[in-house]
Chain A
Amino acid sequence: MQATEQVTEAQVWSWLEEVPDPEIPVISVVDLGVIRGVEVNDAGVRITVTPTYSGCPAMAIISLDIETAMAAKGVENLEIETKIAPAWTTDWLSEKGRARLESYGIAPPQAAGGPEKCPHCGSKSVEKVSQFGSTPCKAQWRCLSCLEPFDYFKCI
């Protein structure tokens, strides 16, 4: 309990910055925008998480990874609440998260509904292969210049 009493909300947020998204490990769960609240009080630490997609299989792992990370920092009384409203949107991806996605080879979401450019060579000549991809949050595209396929982070 001592450890929990001493932590601040800012500290918890910084610790969460170190918890990677299990499916796209270059961005943190904070960058992904799924952490909706951190509250520290006498009872302990309460973290509110929202799913990206309602069936996202990574949710259980995200909660487990958060628990593990908080335990490593000495947080003893942790409560993780899942909340679906307001519904997650790709607008909640951080700027840092978007930049990291792109350098990792995943085109960040655009309001226009498709990638701005190929994350490999920067060409704007790209085409959709499929509206779905390797995880619920991604679609498959390909570059017509360098001919490489790439993931596009769906915009919702």
Chain B
Amino acid sequence: MTPATGPAAARFEDNLFEFLLRQGDNALVLGHRTSEWCGVAPALEEDIALANTALDLIGQTQLWLGYAAEVEGQDRTANDLAFRRDAYDFRNLLMLEVPNEDFGRTLMRQFFFDAFQVPWLSALQTSSDQRVADIAAKSVKEALYHLERSAETVVALGDGTAESNARMQAALDYLWPYAGEAFVDDAVDQAMAEAAIAPPPSQMRADWGATVHATLANAYLTRPESEFAHKGGRTGARHTEHLGHMLANMQVLQRSYPDAVW
């Protein structure tokens, strides 16, 4: 593995691999968390919507991690990367690995992520790397559709009953300190920007902030003032304790029966 933090890895391929893991792990971890709702969501329509959102994200994961595995050149596959790495090798945002808690927090997180993914994937469509551009063009259509639903649901619940408003405010207060991690550039981002693979994620902050601000206002929710941001997920420096528990569930079959196929 490449170093988790510190200066950019010497080889361009190592940086590209890190970058692709970040994209794939975000989709994988949120996709898995979302799939935990399958069969237990508050209404059948929401159950189906969550399962379909998870399916889109897992599909995107296959594209990103499939390319990551090729770039790494160690004969690993997307499946190997998803099911045979441990928590410290994951490169997802911390926000995506924390437990679902309730439907409100799940949808607030989805909204935060979608509001980032739409400008991010839109920008990646002009990547100098054609594979990255192709995956982004495919994924952004799904992200736009997800954003429409997650933003609408945040407004519906925020502007709902006193109970739903309080639950959404609690979700917002909990998730807010995790939101900033997405916009902190590091050496990998710098290497990607220099190669015109991707813009620095910090450039997404204005777009994200505008979408979030408008939606929260419509939802009668108060944005916390703190700028503090938990960090360490996308660099792999420090994940929350929740990721290991999630992976224990997600990876149990491949860990118990390595190379099992059906």
Instruction: State the A residues within 8 Å of B (CB).
Output: 51, 53-57, 84-87, 89, 129-134, 136, 140, 154, 156
Contact = CB atoms under 8 A, between A and B. Distances in A.
A56 B52 CA distance: 9
Q: How large is the interface on B (under 10, 10 to 19, 20 to 34, 35 or more residues)?
A: 20 to 34
A136 B130 CA distance: 26
Contacts of A131: 49, 145, 148-149
A134 B45 CA distance: 10
What are the nearest 8 A-B pairs in CB distance?
A: A55-B59, A54-B59, A85-B134, A130-B45, A132-B49, A55-B55, A132-B52, A87-B138
A55 B58 contact: yes
B135 interface: yes
B134 A53 contact: no
A87 B48 contact: no
Interface in B121-167: 130, 133-135, 137-139, 141-142, 145, 148-149
B145 A86 contact: no
Contact of B48 (A85, A132, A154): A132
Given A84-B135, A85-B137, A131-B49, 18 more contacts: A53-B142, A54-B60, A55-B57, A56-B55, A84-B134, A84-B138, A85-B130, A85-B133, A87-B141, A130-B45, A131-B149, A132-B49, A132-B53, A132-B149, A133-B48, A136-B55, A140-B48, A156-B141
Nearest to B137: A87
A114 B49 CA distance: 17
19 contacts: A53-B56, A54-B56, A54-B138, A54-B139, A55-B55, A55-B56, A55-B59, A56-B59, A84-B135, A85-B137, A86-B137, A87-B137, A87-B138, A131-B49, A132-B53, A134-B48, A136-B52, A140-B45, A140-B48
Contact of A136 (B56, B135, B138): B56
